[in-house]
């Protein structure tokens, strides 16, 4: 989390121009996780979860009123109330985004588990003995479906073709043509996709910046955001917007982008639409 050790460290990291550290982290980078009121679209993506939370709280409150609530229901109701209070706090903090760095909604998954468990236990306690076996079978079926879906997803990911079919050839081209300290800047494309994100790990050279891998230290976060903006301008304007620090190599994924960057350097390796370009000017 972006939690500075003291006020001085945050003041030192705060940018003199542009958005604050809190806005960069909570509103620009992590709104899907911490800022439900960032935009109307963001709120609509959060709305189903909010409805589920309110509904679960209502069900548990009904069980409590009828004295059917098991002991596990008490922490479940407490966690649900906390999440709804956090939602109210996030609404009043929607401009400053100060609270985003504390990840107020992190307990949501645990809360859902506690709530479902409390409801299942309450139903089981009220079932006659001959119905408990059926309830156990239904619960086992749900677990089996979940396990199957999880395993199938992981197998599909493992068996899927890499986003760059000639990945090994690309890595060899980078290793044989570049120096150990040369920066390879990747075209910003589909950066949350695991296949593209892994390129930053397997390319044996510095890749400078990635949207997915954002730092959490305030000073590093400000630098990360500045590099993101510089990279956007560089790929949009070409050689007219040079990168700092100097970049020696480009990796592009689209022909039109590669054509726009051709004036900046020479294509050393290409397969399909993927091109590795050595820059001449920087």
What digits encode the pLDDT tens for the residues 183-223?
999 999 989 888 899 899 999 999 999 999 999 899 999 99
Helix, strand or coil, per DSSP, at residue 227: helix
To the nearest whole percent, how much of the chain has pLDDT over 70? 93
Cα–Cα nearest to 254, from 203, 206, 192, 196: 196
Q: Is 234 in the same domain as 184?
A: yes
Please, what is the end-to-end C-alpha distance for the chain in angstroms? 35
Same domain, 120 and 191: no
Both tokens assigned to 128: 């006659």
* Mean pLDDT across 135-142: 81
Burial 39-57 (b: 16+ CB within 10 A, else e): eeeeeeebeeeeeebeebb
Residue 54 lies in a domain: yes
Please give the full DSSP string across 129-140, using - where no structure is assigned: HHHHHHHHHHHH
What's the chain's average pLDDT? 88
Q: How does pLDDT run across 33-58, given as a tens digit for each residue? A: 999 999 999 999 999 999 999 999 99
- Do 121 and 12 lie in one domain? The reply is yes
Q: Which of 93, 126, 159 is the last residue of a domain?
A: 126
- Residue 246: inside a domain: yes
B/e letters for 256-270, b = 16+ CB within 10 Å, e = fewer, are ebbebbeebbeeebb
Over 60: is that where the pLDDT of 113 sits? yes
Number of structural domains (the chain) is 2
What's the angle, vertex CA 179, arms to CA 234 and CA 207, rounded to 5?
40
Per the domain annotation, does 72 fall within a domain?
yes
Residue 111 vs residue 157, higher pLDDT: 111
Same domain for 11 and 122: yes
Average pLDDT over residues 165-193: 93
**pTM score of the predicted model:** 0.81
Quick one: 215 exposed, middle or buried, by C-beta within 10 A (0-12, 13-18, 19+)?
middle
| Averaged pLDDT for residues 86-115 | 95
Please say if the pLDDT value at position 149 is more than 70. yes
Judge whether 70 lies within some domain. Answer: yes
Domain end call among 63, 97, 126: 126
- Residues 239-256: tens digit of each pLDDT: 777 788 889 999 999 999
pLDDT interval class at 98 (50, 70, 90): very high
Q: Supply the range of the domain harboring residue 115.
A: 7-126
Could you tell me the pLDDT band of residue 5, with boundaries at 50, 70 and 90?
very low
């Amino acid at each position: 989390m972006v939690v500075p050790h003291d006020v001085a460290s945050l003041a030192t990291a705060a940018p003199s121009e542009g958005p604050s550290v809190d806005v960069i982290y909570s509103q620009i980078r992590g709104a899907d996780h911490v800022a439900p009121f960032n935009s109307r679209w963001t709120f609509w993506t959060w709305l189903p979860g909010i409805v589920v939370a309110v509904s679960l709280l209502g069900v548990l409150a009904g069980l409590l009123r009828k004295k059917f609530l098991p002991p596990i229901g008490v922490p479940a109701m407490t966690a649900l109330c906390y999440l709804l209070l956090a939602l109210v706090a996030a609404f009043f903090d929607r401009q400053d985004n100060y609270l985003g760095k504390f990840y107020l909604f992190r307990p949501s998954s645990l809360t859902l588990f506690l709530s479902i468990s409390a409801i299942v236990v309450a139903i089981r306690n009220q079932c006659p003995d001959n119905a408990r076996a059926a309830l156990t079978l239904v619960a086992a079926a749900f677990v089996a479906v979940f396990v199957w879906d999880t395993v199938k997803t992981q197998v599909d990911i493992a068996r899927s073709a890499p986003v760059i079919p000639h990945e090994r050839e690309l890595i060899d081209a980078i290793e044989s043509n570049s120096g150990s300290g040369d920066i390879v800047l990747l075209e910003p494309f589909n950066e949350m996709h695991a296949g593209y994100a892994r390129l930053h790990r397997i390319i044996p050279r510095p890749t400078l910046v990635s949207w997915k891998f954002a730092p959490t230290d305030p000073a590093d976060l400000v630098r990360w955001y500045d590099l993101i903006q510089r990279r956007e301008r560089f790929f949009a304007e070409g050689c007219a917007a040079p990168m700092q620090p100097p970049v020696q190599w480009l990796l592009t994924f689209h022909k039109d982008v590669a054509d726009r960057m051709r004036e900046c350097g020479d294509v050393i390796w290409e397969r399909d639409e993927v091109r590795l370009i050595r820059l001449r000017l920087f």
